[in-house]
Structure formats: C-alpha cells, structure tokens
Amino acid sequence: MGSSRSSGGGRKPKPTILKMLSGTLRKDRANPHEAEPRRRLPSCPTVLQGESRREWHRMGRRLLQAGLLTEIDGPGLMGYCIAYGRLLDAEAKIREFGSVMKAPGGRLAHSPYISIANKALEQMRAMLVEFGMTPSSRSRVHAAGGVCGPTTGASDIDERFFGARTG
C-alpha cells in the first residue's frame, strides 16, 4: 500500500547548523545541497519602530553571536520583533484600562487587549522555537565554545515583565 501522508507532511527538517550544534549531525543524512547563507545581521526593516526596532538590534546581535542568524533570516526575526512590540503595547493597555471592561449594555467583558497579547505571545513563541530561543529548543543546541555563555541576573524580558529581582 502507498503512503497516505500528503507530500510535505510530518516533522519539519532541522537546519544543519542546529544539528551540528546539538551534536546530532550525521553525514549520511546531511543535505549536501543545503543553502549556506552568510552569517550577518540583516538590515532592520523600516516597518519596525520603537520597542520592536530596539528588539531587532538586541536579539539580532544575540542570535548572530550564537551563530543562529544569517542574512536571509530577516523576515523571521521581523515577525518575532513585531509580535514583541505588539505584546508590549497590549500589556501597556491592559495596565491602563484593566483586564475587565464594561461592554455595551453595561455587562463586564474581558479586555480585547488580552486576546491581542495572547496572540502576540503565540507568534513570539513560534519564532523563538524556530531560532532555538526557548528552554526546550535551546536544550537541544550546544553552542560551540559557549558563544553566548551563561547570563547573570535577570534578563531584559524578566525585568520588563516581572520587575528587577534581587537575590
């Protein structure tokens, strides 16, 4: 019997660089024709402004330093940065107006900014996984030579959402 799976189904292939960093690269399964774009930070798109633009430069430098960003990864990084900025905007509105609002007719309803924030988090998470930036996806990647190294203290995101921590 033939396969019932449609073409393109199944698990997404893992880029060779992530296989190399995680120690799972096998030459017999490597794609000899895989594109190898230059590692460099693409130009920041003009559509990014404010916090999104700052996040482009901050996260772009970190990804480049870890060897996980190339000149053709701009759209993926842009998607992450847009979602990041949208999350910050929505969270500011939730702080300003609260998480419950009065709907027409006087009944109470969840703030529409909650669903905007939740969607932005979903979009960010998808891009974070693509770049190996979540704890579970990062645990499978061993950066050569400790390029990024361990951080001390709270991260920028921790400080922004949870406040500075002492300890």
Structure tokens at 113: 């900014």
Q: Tokens 């361990």 — which residue? A: 150
- Threshold 0.75, pTM exceeds: no
pLDDT band at 153 (very low <50, low <70, confident <90, very high): very low
State residue 139's pLDDT score: 65
C-alpha span between 45 and 104 (Å, rounded): 39
Taking alpha carbons only, the member of 72, 48, 54, 73 closest to residue 131 is 73
Task: Please check whether residue 48 is in contact with residue 39, taking contact to mean a CB–CB distance below 8 angstroms.
Answer: no
- Going through the chain in order, the beta strands assigned E by DSSP cover 100-102, 108-110
pLDDT tens per residue across span 92-147: 999 999 999 998 899 999 999 999 999 999 999 999 988 888 877 766 655 443 34
Q: Tokens 């996984």 — which residue? A: 129
C-alpha span between 132 and 141 (Å, rounded): 7
